[in-house]
Amino acid sequence: MFKSHTSLVGLLLIVGILLMACSGRTLTASPIPELEKYEGRPLHIAVIGELPSVREQQIQFSTIQFTDLLDRKLELYDAVFITKEHLNEASEDQYADVYMEAPIPFFFIDASKSYHSFIEKDLSYEENLDLKEISNHYIIGLLATEEAEYTYWYFGLYDDIVSDQTIKGTFSQVFVTIEKQMNF
């Protein structure tokens, strides 16, 4: 009798698990909530690399080159984005002074390493320690302040989920930060 009771409990457990699986419910995944959209003033952002896809209509992007950084032609922009495929070049020695002297913030998109490779002349992005195992950041922000100091930010994706929705939500957080830092 004990043997048949154990078999019945096991069978019921298996049936219950199968019913949950068939109903489309999962025990671990939760839906991504509606991530807050930037509602602030219009921003004009320079981009080195591919223009990002964002939800906000009041954001204007312009493509620039690294030579524009060296020429210090940044007064028209509220910030500069540098995308993943250009991060190694962005860490070259000649740009460190630009980041540390510019009056606008720089954001390094899909960066897996520390901001130090962008401000330390002898440390390239490629050589820098990869932080993906200990940090969930997706975008690094950097703004020079007075007396050769700087402020930096790390922005992560919601629940570390890489999706169109979470990436756009992270960009919205960046836009809020730009507006706050620029004291509009």
pLDDT at position 119: 78
pLDDT at position 135: 61
- pLDDT tens for each residue of 89-127: 999 989 989 998 899 999 999 988 777 778 778 766 666
pLDDT at 25 over 60: no
- pTM value is 0.78
Q: Which residue in this structure is represented by tokens 């999706």?
A: 163
pLDDT at position 61: 98
Between 141 and 117, the higher pLDDT residue = 141
What is the rounded distance in angstroms from the CA atom of residue 138 to the CA atom of residue 100?
21
What is the rounded distance in angstroms from the CA atom of residue 164 to the CA atom of residue 167?
5
The per-residue DSSP string of 63-87 comes to E--HHHHHTT--TT-SEEEE-GGGH
How many CB atoms are closer than 10 A to CB 88? Answer: 14
Query: What are the residues whose beta carbons fall under 8 Å from the beta carbon of 84, sequence distance 6 or more?
Result: 49, 109, 110, 111
- pLDDT tens for each residue of 58-75: 999 999 999 999 887 788
Q: What percent of the chain has pLDDT over 90?
A: 44
